[in-house]
Structures are given as C-alpha cells and as structure tokens.
Amino acid sequence: MSSEDVDLKKRKFLSQATTAIGAVGVCGAAVPLISYLTPGREAQMSAKAVEVDIADMKEGEQRTVVWRGKPIWIVRRSVAQVDSLKKLDAQLSDPNSAIEQQPGYAQNAYRSIRPDILVLVGVCTHLGCAPTYRPEPQSIDETWPGGFFCSCHGSKFDMAGRVYKGVPAPTNLEVPPYHFLNEDTIVVGKDRA
C-alpha cells in the first residue's frame, strides 16, 4: 500500500461525515442520498482509498465511512449474525450473488473476505435511498432475523446485503473493492494488488 493510495489527511473529514450519516440513521429517516451526497468537493475529497481502523469495533457494531461520495458500511458480524445467513436462501432473490454486485473475492456465502467483517455500499439498489441497519430480530416483522431495511419503499436486505424476494430493490447491495492491510485495518476502494 503506497502512501498516495491512502490519504490519511482525510481522516478528519471522514470522521465528520460519519457522524453526519450516523445522525441520519439515528433519526430513522430514509433520506435519498442524492439530497446530501451530491458530487462536489466533499465527494472528490474522499475519492481515494480509505483506510479504516476496526480494532475497537464490537460484535454487531456498524461503522460508516465515505468513499467516492458514498456511505460505506462496515459491520463486525456476530457468530449469530453469520449463522443467520445459512437459513435465508429460499427467501432471497439472489442468494448466491450471481449478479455482479461484488468483487470476485466477495462472491461467496458471506459476500465478504472474512465472515465476521461485512463491507457494503450503503445505497439502496432501488432508487438510492439510505437503508438503515436493523440488527434486532423481529424489529421489522415477526420473521425478521436482522439486516438492513429501506423505509423509502420497504426493501429488505439480510446481514450480507442480499435482497429479499418481493421488494422493489432489484439486486443485492453493492460490495465495494477492499482489502485488509492487516488484522485490524481495512482499505476501502482498492483491491489487494
């Protein structure tokens, strides 16, 4: 990883952007991303790969960073959340990630390099709203095992970003290019060389 790939000077900006997006999530508002992530100076600032320290993330915790003007979710999945993925295939539109919404190294049962760490673009594949992270079982309906919910038009995604059948979103959530620099550091926006 060369120094120009990861612009550490942008960390302050990313921290501020993360706080802003987190505030939207707390309010539970389904805000079309276009309304606050229009291409501009901020998007350009985060166009380079983004280095994320995940050492202090707890099981079940979600973190958001910005890459190319898009919110990128990082979730440290618990064992129970990983196990939940095995039971949902019949309810999903594309359980095997046949549609290219992820790099080849994430075309697996977890849609990730490591089962415990999920990395997704946090933009609904229907019309671009911002889904919210709803990990609590039964918080959307009686059968809800936890996942991501887009309240704009009711699209549901599991804990790997796979879309359920019968909702407006046509495809799974996108997985961006990324790799692990070490055990506790993810580089979002660049495949391993």
Catalytic residue list:
153
Q: Least Å distance between CB 188 and ligand FES? A: 22
* Interaction mask 66-105, ligand FES, x per CB under 6 A: ----------------------------------------
Nearer Cβ to ligand FES, position 106 or 173?
173
Report d(CA 9, CA 32) in Å as an integer. 28
Q: Least Å distance between CB 86 and ligand FES? A: 25
- Please list every residue from 116 through 155 that binds ligand FES, using CB under 6 A: 124, 126-129, 150, 152-155
Q: Least Å distance between CB 69 and ligand FES? A: 17
Q: Which of these, 21, 41, 42, 35, lies nearest to 121 by C-alpha position?
A: 21
Q: Least Å distance between CB 93 and ligand FES? A: 13
Pairing relationship of beta strands 117-121 and 70-76 according to DSSP bridges: antiparallel
Nearer Cβ to ligand FES, position 103 or 128?
128
Residue 105, number of CB atoms within 10 A of its CB: 14
Size of the site for ligand FES (CB under 6 A): 12
Report d(CA 104, CA 93) in Å as an integer. 19
Q: Which of these, 145, 146, 150, 110, lies nearest to 127 by C-alpha position?
A: 150
165 binds ligand FES (CB under 6 A): no
| 3-class DSSP state of 32 | strand
Residue 19, number of CB atoms within 10 A of its CB: 10
Pairing relationship of beta strands 62-67 and 132-134 according to DSSP bridges: unpaired
* Position among 60, 115, 137, 168 found at the interface with ligand FES (CB under 6 A): 168
* Residue matched to tokens 């990983």: 82
List contacts with ligand FES (CB under 6 A). Answer: 124, 126-129, 150, 152-155, 168-169
